[in-house]
Structure 1
Amino acid sequence: MPRRLLRYSELDLSAWDTCVNQAEQVVPYAQSWWLQATAGRWDAVVEIGMKGEYLAVLPLPVKRRPWGREVYQPPFTQQLGAIGVAQPGSVFPYWLNVMSPIGKLAESYGKLYTQLNDSNGLPQRLANSYDEILTYERRITYHLPLTPSYTTLHAGYAADYRRRLRVNAEAAQPLAVTATSNAEPLLTLFQQTKGPAAGLGRTHYAQLRQLIAAGQQHKQVTLLEVRHPETGELLAGALFVLFRTRLVYLFAAASEAGKKASAPLLLLDAAIQQHAGTPGLVLDFEGGMIPSIARFFANFGAAPVPYAALSFTQRPWYLQWLR
């Protein structure tokens, strides 16, 4: 099967989305509308079938730098990597195991950083010239299968989480989770709380707004919030994306009052309750590299799942003498 490195202008986006929608790997971030919102343009290594269909793709979001084209991981895009369906005679599923195709991209790009999807597994190194420039990092996310009933999933929560949920349910004015279509209050709350530490600028928020709008158009986005029953103050909000068999906890924020009232717990519990009992569906908490956050996810019964980040850096020719 022919395998080609294509520029954005050469990509058939209809064939691209068909491939992503049918692939063995479930990667919402690889949908063309998602990449258009977060990266704008991207190159890709594509395996093309006999009828011009895309059998597999490897997205490569690019930026132009003085030293050349650079592959990077766009914001709000946790995983990309190899995506496709194994075909007789296809070598694509083995690319990431030998890592050679990633290394060969050094011939086209001055710098590369990409996070593979968790279905790609952790790559194995071979004794070849590409190992000299490739760096591999093991990263962690957390998954919770939602196939079991809510009763079963709830029983898997940490005892303290079950107690907090019970206390809220028995309160005179329990906090309630409601759906909304307006993301602006959530973005404002994030800017007021996590924003400065997260280092997000105007461009990032513009990309996120575009991503949310596109996700709503494709009916994949759910926005939930918890407000104070008397004042209407937003205590916490969360953005979930549902794509095929993956529910992604993409973005969230909570005020100090919301944290004390366990509002983030209520949001996740509501999403779990809504989707519990769905065969094959997995909740991806989309994080876990920070120990405190990992504990928060694990207390829902979620388990750590590894995925890989690959990178290389080629100095421009006039800096090759540096050691």
Structure 2
Amino acid sequence: MSLRYLHHAEIDLAAWDTCVTVAQASVPYAYSWWLTVTVGKWDAVVELNDATGAYNSILPLPAKWRPWGRQVYQPAFTQQLGLLTTAESQQQNLTEYLALVAGRYSRFYTQANVSNNIWQLPAGFASTERRTYLLDLAPNYATLLAGYAADYKRRLRRNQQQIQPLVVKEGETGTALVELFRLYKGGEVAELKAWHYRQLAALINALQARGLASIVEVRQPGTDNLLASALFVKHRGGLIYLFAAASPAGKQAGAPLLLLDHTIQQYAGTPGFVLDFEGGMIPSIARFFANFGATPAPYAAVALSTPQPWYMLWKP
């Protein structure tokens, strides 16, 4: 077994995806088709089985050129990457992989996954803690519902008591979801540009083509106006609450609560399934997730502590 730094053209995509599929941590963001949509090209450090050509572990390195040199960055719609290891891996320490990265990039930032052990980092690297919220879906729905905040349970009962209660339905495409977000949140999220929305549309198409997308909607009875919608990604480890939007009327009516409750109810009682709310750094959002009984899970963001000028880079 050997650790090797590979440029994108040197990566065996079939071996890559096999590694992602059998990795001990389920990180769908790392599949080659996901990275192709969100990044285009990426480098990597891989643990190569010299006898078979299989990848026993991988560290994705999304990279791009900037005036100050090449940099590794965290792409949009990709909460976690980090080190993915298989049962055959002989390397479990992210530090060993980062040692092969040092000196290659002027700037470096990546978000590891919740399974990564961040031990002593190589010189020049530093880590900060981020967190997401996770909900174990193995218990039955009655047990999970008992863990909701009292106010959430009241809102759900109140909706059912309405003459025309709001109902969650499956959405056919992500177009309405994306447009709802652009209409009510696009101006607040300045970092999302027009090309990000095209990227998101392509990602939704890729997920739907593989049967991995669940799009749910709540519409106003009578008018059919879209109140809220959400995209969940299905993978072998559970669900990811990837993208969501709601109108002011939808928030007032508690439509986002209904979307999440519907999904929790649908997948409750599934051993080994976890709902990743994909967020929690903003206190108000963290409280929203915690009110479903979700608990915080830390993961590390790793960066170069001192950016390197391009003329200091020497490795091919």
TM-score by length of 2: 0.95
The residue number in structure 2 matching 1:150 is 141
Of residues 179-188 and 246-255 in structure 1, the stretch that sits farther from structure 2 once superposed is 179-188
Aligned to 2:38: 38
Percent identity at matched positions? 55
1:12 is aligned to 12
* CA deviation map 1:246-272 (0-9, x unaligned): 200000000110011000000000100
- 2:92 aligns with 93
- Mapped partners of 2:73, 2:233: distance in 1: 22
Higher helix share: 1
SS in structure 2 of the partner of residue 119 of structure 1 = coil
Structure 1: gaps (5+ residues): none
CA contact (8 A) 1:235 1:257 kept: yes
* Superposed counterparts of 1:102-181, under 5 Å: 102-121=98-117, 123-125=118-120, 130-131=122-123, 133-181=124-172
The equivalences for 1:1-323 within 5 A come to 1-49=1-49, 50-87=51-88, 90-94=89-93, 96=94, 99-121=95-117, 123-125=118-120, 130-131=122-123, 133-199=124-190, 200-312=192-304, 313-316=306-309
Secondary structure of the corresponding residue to residue 196 of structure 1: coil
Query: Shift in Å at residue 180 of structure 1?
Result: 1.2
Whole-angstrom CA distance in 1 between matches of 2:157 and 2:207:
33
Residues in 2 aligned to 1:144 and 1:152: alpha-carbon distance in whole angstroms: 12
Unaligned runs of 5+ in 2: none
**8 Å CA contact 1:158, 1:300 repeated in 2:** yes
Offset at 1:69? 1.4
Q: Distance in 1 between matches of 2:311 and 2:133?
A: 43
Q: Does structure 2 conserve the Cα–Cα contact (< 8 Å) formed by 1:103 and 1:134?
A: no
Distance 1:104 1:58 in 2: 11
Offset, 1:317: 5.8
Q: Distance in 2 between matches of 1:32 and 1:163?
A: 43
* TM-score normalized by the length of structure 1: 0.93
Cα root mean square deviation, aligned: 1.5
Cα contact 2:45–2:100 (8 A) shared by 1: no
Q: How many residues matched?
A: 310
Q: Deviations over 1:101-132 (max 9, x none)?
A: 324412111111000000113x1336xxx33x
Q: Using the alignment, how far apart are the partners of 2:180 and 2:126 within structure 1?
A: 37
Given that 1:144 and 1:284 are in contact with CA atoms closer than 8 Å, whether structure 2 keeps it comes out as yes
Aligned equivalents of 1:120, 1:62: Cα separation in 2? 21
Q: Relative to structure 1, is the Cα distance of residues 256 and 316 closer, same or farther in structure 2, using a 3 angstrom cutoff?
A: same
Q: Which moved more, 1:194-203 or 1:274-283?
A: 194-203
Which region of structure 1 is more displaced relative to structure 2, 306-315 or 266-275? 306-315
Contact conserved, 2:59 with 2:97, CA < 8 A, in 1?
A: no
